[in-house]
Structure 1
Amino acid sequence: MAEVFPSEEKTEPFTTEELQQRLQGSIQVDSIEEEHHDTIPLDALVIEEDHHKQGIRILVRPLTRNRSVSPGNDNVQWLALRAEVADPSQPRSKVLAVTQTSKDINFSIRIPQGDDENRPPIWCELYYDPASDSLILVNKSEMPIVLTRVSQPESTSDVNYGQEILPKTTKEVSPGTWRISIYAIPVLDFRILEKRPAKLVIPRDSADSSIISSSDVANSSVKRSFSDASSDEPVSPVAEKRARKTDGQEKDGVIIFMGPKDKELVFPFPNPAKTKEVAIPNGHHALLEVEKDETADIPGGCELDQYQLTKRDQIAMTGASSVFTAEHSNVPDGVITVKVLKTRNPNASDTRPQETHHNVIRQADIWLREYQSQEDLQHESIVRLYGGDARYLSLYMEHVDGKDLAARGVWRDTTDLFVGDRYDAVRILRDIAGALNYVHQKRKIHNDIKPANILYSRERGAVLCDFGLSTRSTDPATNGGTPYYVPPEFIGQKLRGPASDVWALGVTMLYVIRKIPFPDARGRQGHPKQLYWMIADLNRKPGPSHHHGHHTNNRATSAVTQMQQWLSEVNEAKGRLNKLDRIEYLILQMLTPNPNQRITMAKVMMELKDVPNK
């Protein structure tokens, strides 16, 4: 298993405002005429097994006088559902059924202002939480709305009748039926359904060793429901203690048919006689529950949303994500890399609910941006994206057999210097310049070029990864990224574009040719020359200073001062570049202060054509 080091990276994500400006593709309920007169409570409607298999998560019933609500796309459909106690005069009730597919991070409710109603328009976003069965409601309307729980809550602590939700604020809504009102006018009812649970398939010897006594069950907070894969009879829920082998488990190959052409592939799926199924409790994040050599069996409403994922080795683990290798039943190329975004920090037990809500939204939006930014990129020096699953905020990518340029003990020594040679420098510059030239031709900006986002091996070459902060060239400049690689034109002017990626690669190459140590290490606590600032503070208007003795606490001034200090160090390193060396002269041109005079990636590629690798 790969060794996991604490992250030194100081990458800053998109701000909430930036993400909301860029969010596209959410399901919407738009306005057409549709007559409804159903009065049967949503809780009384029967959800058949077939509906669960479709992945239906929300039932919606408009209550507006003009009934002007309709589906926005194919993931929303009108369903006629029967009630538990059928009414002879109304045996079926017509509701909107919302299906969460592997591409949906949220559901948007938009209700225009009614011509015959004295109320403003309503806009609410419902974000799916991969770590629970609840949804996070965001009031995007200009006016407060009232959220009332219609169904009987399971616990008294869940009672929340008539709570006012102010504009831009959030509320966690658990499974059950809720009503949205404004100005005491009921506008819409919606019922949240529990997710269809995934399952883990684990080696039988691990499953057997995990079954313990009833006294241990009482003392354990981790519980799983076991069922024998070779038997239809489930076993009662028990607590689990893991006892694992260090070597891999023997697997039997099975034939799986894929796609319209029924292409065959052999996928090492666990033999039922040697495995047991573990039902993951509803609401748990299935892909964060899976451990080495376990297989997550993911259900779905269509063929593409159903697959099996067998975890292999953990690559990295941070508070924001988990990265590991795995085998995917729908990817015939063998081992892939899986990146799963987290919405819960297990160490933050005192986190306020609003912070948790905002983190769910932020991570979901980051997933969407990374998926959309990379899905159409096909370049040999860019990590290939096979797909993703919004239900688990997971991305399935090509596995590159190489470590990133920041990997300690591989490409970085104990003094934070790069350990490669001239050949490595030429190869890295050639490959990443080609990748960035391709990205810029697509009118996109990476926004986070740095050693940690470049995978490298001498066999494969350099490969660019992590497009979570990428934007289109027409988007406003972002505050996301890593401070040491932000270009000088960002101060004051807040300019970022293709030229900013060039600058960032120039700083990265200073590290690769050993002119500077690993820049990100400067943010490490205890570093003798610690230097770190927030990108968003660079263009913040200076506020009133607060004096504490001789110390001035002004974030904007401090950020600009520290970045200017860093730029002076970059400039000093530039002064040590040899203009007669083709590679060093290209790096010098990449670090031109004026972005309009800075060399482009296309020009770098032209200059590199006749440069030998050594």
Structure 2
Amino acid sequence: MPLQTQNISHASGPAYSPSFHSSASATQIDSRAAAAAAATQREQERTVELEREAQPQAKSTYKAPESQQTSSVVADGANTPKAPTVDQIRTLLYAALPSAEGARLIIASPQYPNDASEDSSVVRLPQEIEGRVTFGLVQSSQHMDYLVQQPLQYGSSAVELCYEVIFIPGSDDCLLRNCSKAPLHMTCLDSRWTRWLIRENRRAVIRPGLWRISLVRNGDDASDRLCTEIMLLRRQYTVAIHRAIDSSLAKRAASEDDAENRGKRRKLGKDETEDVAIPPASKTAPGSDSIAKRADIVQSRQLTPSSVRELVNQTGIPLLELADKETAVISSLHINNGEDPQPTPVSTAYGSDSYHLSRIQYMGHTSSTSVFSCRHSAIPGLVVAKVPRYDGKSIEQVPSFARSWKRERDMLRGHKHRNIVALKAFDARMFALYLEVLPRSLYRGNMSTFTLSDVATILYDIASALVYLYDKSIIHNDIKPGNIAFSPQRGAVLFDFGMATNDEDQATGGTMWYLPPDIIHRKRRGFPGDVWALGITASYLLGKMQIPERCGIRWDMADSGKKKGSDQAMMAWFNLVKEKREELDRDNKLESIVYDMLHWKAESRITAEGITAALDSFKLESVEGPTCDGQRLTRSRTKSPLVG
């Protein structure tokens, strides 16, 4: 009898709890009901849904060389030997279990994948039988998804079994997307061959257990020939949250901080603080000494089993439950000959898979992201944790969170520039980024109070960052005051690369008021789009306009070009920008640069290199007053120290 999925418990269930639910509904499907419906749907699936011919797929992450193809898949058509029996597969995969330390997936396949990279998470296993070899996919802090490509031969035709696996953060489940150019059958081998159809580019959610993935070719069920088997294991790490200890020292420090910084916390508005990843640095914000003092208190306390508290949400990202002064202990596990998994430290390029994370202070959140300062046991000093607000209730959000997290990690990893936020570490298992601590963002109220000296420094620093990024073919796509940190001592720093791309034709999101007019006709932004967004930011910094998020004009970017009201609102904003541009003083050297940044035509817009070159020839002279209205720019034969 098939297993009823709604009765499965993550916390206390068996080692392998097979179940499945469709990505279309994001709710668990009773496998008993699904099995009953499968018989009536099968013929319809074969005659209506399965007409497409399987074709070769584009190059994938893992591709086996032809020399590794086994004889079991090169015979002609129906004469191709069938796959091993379910009992043989189960025996094979269980035998491979002790050799697959740290693996989340153990796969039996006609051939090995080909992955020779140094940090490969594909582990070849020695166990094999006729027609099947085994390998494991290891889930670590470095990887959250895998693209597996299995080239097969069916008669004289080359076919490809291709699928993507995304491990759901804080869960034992994973998402599987069909990347083949033919439908797939997912068969749960632990529940009397209960089977579901996954169409091209669709996703399914599977739970721990034994599964067979098979290609459907021209309506022919080739599940016993063009297939691979996977054993999904429970996640190989644990997260324990330790409560803050009410010691007299901790109480006294907390009391002092609360008295000094009363009312410092605030819930950040969606528009005003989108993707803010930096701590406040104002008179009411705690200073570095205060933060360090509190961090030392948290770090110095002894973590004991009695201090562990139960997670309130068992399906979301555990780090979201951390409160100030609490500590999360993340421990990797290893399997030892079938015994209970045990914690083990695993070193990686960006820290360790096992570490402590002590939360210092809540900093803010948006609809999609939560941010807090913390101490990471593998990183000296304080860091900022940026974690998606995934609560486990809507699995459809996982691919979007995964894409954004992976994009930002890839854009920041390996890049070093003084005016670009530094990535200190990351943990793919919880979609967490650990970034350097920065000053406040430029978003400091409805109207700017920055000095002209500050504006010149900010423009030069961010333009320098853009020159560096463009040399790496990286487009930020979301430059705005809320994504730029600044202090006179640190300078300006660009952060939040969740929408960055390597291809200027690639579609991505953004913040409506900072999108360039290029999107109207070219439907893309590219490098000139970043310059436009910096020009809008500079107009705010110069006091020429209020913060755009509060201008009273807004529209739905998804409706642009589709609904008249959205197009009218967008054009009203662009007309307002034109008016503000004409108010800029062309005789003021700095305002003249901003004027050129807001040119309507992308090809006529000043470049990032042009901005730095123009600012190199200027220096500031203070005339009167602390703000932009009381200063002017003059030419200088020497480079200004403010922009050097």
* Alignment of 1:340 onto 2:387: yes
- Once residues 346 and 228 of structure 2 are traced to their aligned partners in structure 1, the CA distance between those partners, rounded to angstroms, is 29
Specify the alignment match of 2:106 in structure 1.
Answer: 59
C-alpha spacing 1:509/1:113, structure 2 compared with 1 (3 Å): same
C-alpha spacing 1:499/1:302, structure 2 compared with 1 (3 Å): same
Is contact 2:93-2:107 (8 Å) kept? no
- Once residues 75 and 125 of structure 1 are traced to their aligned partners in structure 2, the CA distance between those partners, rounded to angstroms, is 14
Deviations 1:134-181 (A, max 9, x none): 1111112222111111124xxxxxx99211111121111011111112
* Structure 1 residue 315 displacement after superposition: 1.1
Pick from 190, 210, 216 the counterpart of residue 230 of structure 2: 190
Deviations 1:524-573 (A, max 9, x none): xxxxx342230x444x5xxxxxxxxxxxxx42x43333222111100100
- Once residues 463 and 362 of structure 1 are traced to their aligned partners in structure 2, the CA distance between those partners, rounded to angstroms, is 26
Deviations 1:52-72 (A, max 9, x none): 8x421001112xxxx234353
Specify the alignment match of 1:68 in structure 2.
Answer: 111
* Alignment of 1:585 onto 2:592: yes
Specify the alignment match of 2:323 in structure 1.
Answer: 291
- Once residues 133 and 177 of structure 1 are traced to their aligned partners in structure 2, the CA distance between those partners, rounded to angstroms, is 14
* Structure 1 residue 248 displacement after superposition: 8.9
* Structure 1 residue 574 displacement after superposition: 0.8
Is contact 1:287-1:340 (8 Å) kept? yes
Is contact 2:316-2:390 (8 Å) kept? no
- Once residues 472 and 162 of structure 2 are traced to their aligned partners in structure 1, the CA distance between those partners, rounded to angstroms, is 33
Deviations 1:68-127 (A, max 9, x none): 343535311222469xxxxxxx8xx95211101222121223222414387842221111
C-alpha spacing 1:44/1:200, structure 2 compared with 1 (3 Å): farther
Alignment of structure 1 residues 67-466 onto 2, 5 Å: 67-73=110-116, 74-80=120-126, 95-116=134-155, 120-152=159-191, 161-181=194-214, 182=216, 183-186=220-223, 187-195=227-235, 196-205=237-246, 268-272=299-303, 276-278=307-309, 284-300=316-332, 302-304=346-348, 305-332=353-380, 334-344=381-391, 356-357=395-396, 359-400=397-438, 402-406=439-443, 411-412=444-445, 416-466=446-496
* Structure 1 residue 483 displacement after superposition: 1.4
SS of equivalent to 1:405: coil
Is contact 1:144-1:165 (8 Å) kept? yes
SS of equivalent to 2:497: coil
Is contact 1:327-1:336 (8 Å) kept? yes
* Structure 1 residue 454 displacement after superposition: 0.7
Specify the alignment match of 1:235 in structure 2.
Answer: none
Alignment of structure 1 residues 552-563 onto 2, 5 Å: 554-555=562-563, 557-563=564-570
C-alpha spacing 1:363/1:75, structure 2 compared with 1 (3 Å): same
Deviations 1:265-310 (A, max 9, x none): xx93532469734576976523223222222222347212222211
- Once residues 316 and 524 of structure 2 are traced to their aligned partners in structure 1, the CA distance between those partners, rounded to angstroms, is 42
C-alpha spacing 1:60/1:559, structure 2 compared with 1 (3 Å): same
Structure number with the higher helix fraction is: 2
Is contact 1:27-1:108 (8 Å) kept? yes
* Alignment of 1:531 onto 2:554: yes
- Once residues 608 and 137 of structure 1 are traced to their aligned partners in structure 2, the CA distance between those partners, rounded to angstroms, is 51
* Alignment of 1:597 onto 2:611: no
* Structure 1 residue 47 displacement after superposition: 8.1
C-alpha spacing 1:362/1:603, structure 2 compared with 1 (3 Å): same
Identity across the alignment (%):
27
Aligned amino acid, residue 405 of structure 1: L
Alignment of structure 1 residues 422-571 onto 2, 5 Å: 422-472=452-502, 474-522=503-551, 529-534=552-557, 536-538=558-560, 540=561, 554-555=562-563, 557-571=564-578
C-alpha spacing 1:275/1:514, structure 2 compared with 1 (3 Å): farther
Count of residues in Structure 1 that have an aligned counterpart in Structure 2: 479
Normalized against structure 2, the TM-score is what? 0.68
Specify the alignment match of 1:612 in structure 2.
Answer: 619
SS of equivalent to 1:197: strand
C-alpha spacing 1:191/1:205, structure 2 compared with 1 (3 Å): farther
C-alpha spacing 1:248/1:599, structure 2 compared with 1 (3 Å): closer
Aligned amino acid, residue 28 of structure 1: Y
Deviations 1:346-386 (A, max 9, x none): xxx6x5xxxx33x2111111111111111122111111111
* Structure 1 residue 489 displacement after superposition: 1.7
- Once residues 465 and 249 of structure 1 are traced to their aligned partners in structure 2, the CA distance between those partners, rounded to angstroms, is 23
Is contact 1:251-1:269 (8 Å) kept? no
- Once residues 25 and 584 of structure 1 are traced to their aligned partners in structure 2, the CA distance between those partners, rounded to angstroms, is 49
- Once residues 164 and 511 of structure 2 are traced to their aligned partners in structure 1, the CA distance between those partners, rounded to angstroms, is 30
SS of equivalent to 2:165: strand
- Once residues 421 and 169 of structure 1 are traced to their aligned partners in structure 2, the CA distance between those partners, rounded to angstroms, is 53
Is contact 2:540-2:547 (8 Å) kept? yes
SS of equivalent to 2:489: coil
Is contact 1:108-1:125 (8 Å) kept? yes
- Once residues 467 and 461 of structure 1 are traced to their aligned partners in structure 2, the CA distance between those partners, rounded to angstroms, is 19
C-alpha spacing 1:500/1:272, structure 2 compared with 1 (3 Å): closer
Aligned CA-pair RMSD: 3.3
- Once residues 464 and 540 of structure 2 are traced to their aligned partners in structure 1, the CA distance between those partners, rounded to angstroms, is 19
C-alpha spacing 1:147/1:388, structure 2 compared with 1 (3 Å): same
Aligned amino acid, residue 418 of structure 2: E
C-alpha spacing 1:296/1:46, structure 2 compared with 1 (3 Å): farther
- Once residues 506 and 251 of structure 1 are traced to their aligned partners in structure 2, the CA distance between those partners, rounded to angstroms, is 40
Aligned amino acid, residue 364 of structure 1: A
* Structure 1 residue 319 displacement after superposition: 2.8
C-alpha spacing 1:125/1:597, structure 2 compared with 1 (3 Å): same
- Once residues 359 and 95 of structure 2 are traced to their aligned partners in structure 1, the CA distance between those partners, rounded to angstroms, is 33
- Once residues 462 and 248 of structure 1 are traced to their aligned partners in structure 2, the CA distance between those partners, rounded to angstroms, is 22
Which segments of 5 or more consecutive residues in structure 1 lack a partner in the other structure? Answer: 1-23, 83-89, 153-158, 207-246, 255-266, 523-528, 541-553
Is contact 2:93-2:108 (8 Å) kept? no
* Structure 1 residue 397 displacement after superposition: 0.8
C-alpha spacing 1:365/1:417, structure 2 compared with 1 (3 Å): same
Is contact 1:249-1:293 (8 Å) kept? no
Which segments of 5 or more consecutive residues in structure 2 lack a partner in the other structure? Answer: 1-57, 73-83, 248-289, 333-344, 623-644
- Once residues 537 and 476 of structure 1 are traced to their aligned partners in structure 2, the CA distance between those partners, rounded to angstroms, is 19
Q: Which has the higher contact order (CA 8 A, sep 6+)?
A: 1
Is contact 1:30-1:70 (8 Å) kept? yes
Specify the alignment match of 2:268 in structure 1.
Answer: none
Is contact 1:204-1:274 (8 Å) kept? no
